[in-house]
Amino acid sequence: MSLLVTGGAGFIGSNFVLEWLSREQEPIVVLDKLTYAGNPENLASVHGDPRFTFVRGDIGDRPFVADLLQKHEVRAVLNFAAESHVDRSIHGPGEFIHTNVVGTFELLEAVRGYWSALEEPAKQAFRFLHVSTDEVYGSLGPEDPAFTEKHQFQPNSPYSASKAASDHLVRAYHHTYGLPVLTTNCSNNYGPFHFPEKLIPLMILNALNGKPLPVYGDGKNVRDWLYVTDHCSAIRRVLQAGRLGETYNVGGRNEMTNLEVVQKLCAILDELRPLEHGTSYWDQVHFVKDRPGHDRRYAIDASLIEHELGWLPAETFETGIRKTIEWYLAHPDWIQGVVSGAYREWVVKQYGA
Ligand code: NAD
Ligand code: DAU
């Protein structure tokens, strides 16, 4: 038996695979299309491990996925595969509908066919765990309570709308066909292997390269940050003990404005990689045009997973951000590998020359 991890060459998926193989004996098959966000280098440390198989392919390719499920006697599918960047969804929503909605549908169909034909007890033990986001709930006002699992879906970007649609499909496959599904809705992750189009790694790289630190709007939008391995431990726990058909919100109770995040990040860089003449990386901050439809605040109420499954994050923002910055400083080769022509094209498209 093995786990099928879709999108396992991306940021969170690769952290999940590395963590899993460092703790468990059960094999993992990664299915990844290797879009711009998928990077086999993230998994370099497990290449050659007999418990690890990498397959390049698309979650939307139903017959291909059906074959994989059979061949590897998969006992659980963890669906990380998605188009994940809000700004890209604003420039081009089509790919988000294609992968996040249609791709998830095709994946669910392949899984339903495989699961229906399983004998007991394998059928009862099977799991489909869908990795989703807090962005499906929309935006909060400054005094609103944090999102619970009962919060109405009010997605505001093409990305979050496509993730909301995929969450609904997953739910429907449980209610209609009895597929044993679990869904997690997590807040903003950060940590190693984070592609530098997202706020934290973009700011680290730009700071180190003497480039402007582009803060959207007034910089007061609030995100609820969780170190990536804490998200991975939540997923392991939900897989192990989550109630079928349930959704679990995952978050670290670390609400911060973007300006606060950039401030902390600059202070740690000032300490670890001081600039000449005692100046600060903070001087590189530039306020730029806001993201259209920019959600003002996200905050996760993680009471359900904390109380029902006993999950708690291990890192605070202070410990996690320091580890993250140290990781980027220690991995210039990884950075070189991802800052390709395609990445540079995106930076010019989004931020101008
Ligand atoms: P990512 O963009 O870093 O990785 C996505 C991976 O999916 C890449 O390896 C890509 O090649 C792969 N992929 C894309 N389309 C595919 C397809 N059709 N078939 C197979 N593979 C495909 O994303 P991430 O930040 O690691 O996010 C993983 C999941 O977690 C996503 O579903 C995202 O919505 C969700 N999520 C992310 C965050 C966050 O802060 N990054 C927070 C909550 C939830
Ligand atoms: O909340 C979970 C979501 O978090 C995930 O579902 C998404 O996949 C993930 O990308 C992330 O979405 P955000 O839009 O919150 O992340 P991003 O890193 O793009 O932006 C974080 C905040 O920083 C947001 O308020 C926009 C702002 N920002 C971002 C960039 C890239 C800037 O001010 N400047 C920037 O250059």
The answer to whether the CB of 182 falls within 8 A of the CB of 129 is: yes
Q: Is 11 in the pocket of ligand 1 (CB under 6 A)?
A: yes
- 2-193+228-252+293-316: CATH homologous superfamily? NAD(P)-binding Rossmann-like Domain (3.40.50.720)
Ligand 2 site-directed mutation target among 188, 300, 324, most atoms within 8 Å of CB: 188
Q: Cα–Cα distance between 240 and 234 in angstroms, integer?
A: 10
The answer to whether the CB of 262 falls within 8 A of the CB of 193 is: no
SS3 category, 36 = coil
- Indicate the length of the chain as a whole number: 353
Residue 186 β-bridge partners: 133, 250
Residue 184 β-bridge partners: 131, 248
Closest protein CA for atom 18 of ligand 1? 58
Global pTM?
A: 0.98
Q: Which atom of ligand 2 sits closest to the CA of residue 133? A: 6
Tell how far CA 17 is from the center of its chain.
13
In sequence order, what are the residues at sequence separation of 6 or more whose Cβ sits closer than 8 angstroms to the Cβ of residue 310? 237
Q: Is 127 in the pocket of ligand 2 (CB under 6 A)?
A: no
Q: Is 86 in the pocket of ligand 2 (CB under 6 A)?
A: yes
**CA neighbor of 351 nearest in space, from 241, 212, 237:** 212
Q: Cα–Cα distance between 177 and 144 in angstroms, integer?
A: 36
Residue 248 β-bridge partners: 184
Write out the chain's pLDDT in tens, 353 residues.
Answer: 999 999 999 999 999 999 999 999 999 999 999 999 999 999 999 999 999 999 999 999 999 999 999 999 999 999 999 999 999 999 999 999 999 999 999 999 999 999 999 999 999 999 999 999 999 999 999 999 999 999 999 999 999 999 999 999 999 999 999 999 999 999 999 999 999 999 999 999 999 999 999 999 999 999 999 999 999 999 999 999 999 999 999 999 999 999 999 999 999 999 999 999 889 999 999 999 999 999 999 999 999 999 999 999 999 999 999 999 999 999 999 999 999 888 999 999 999 86
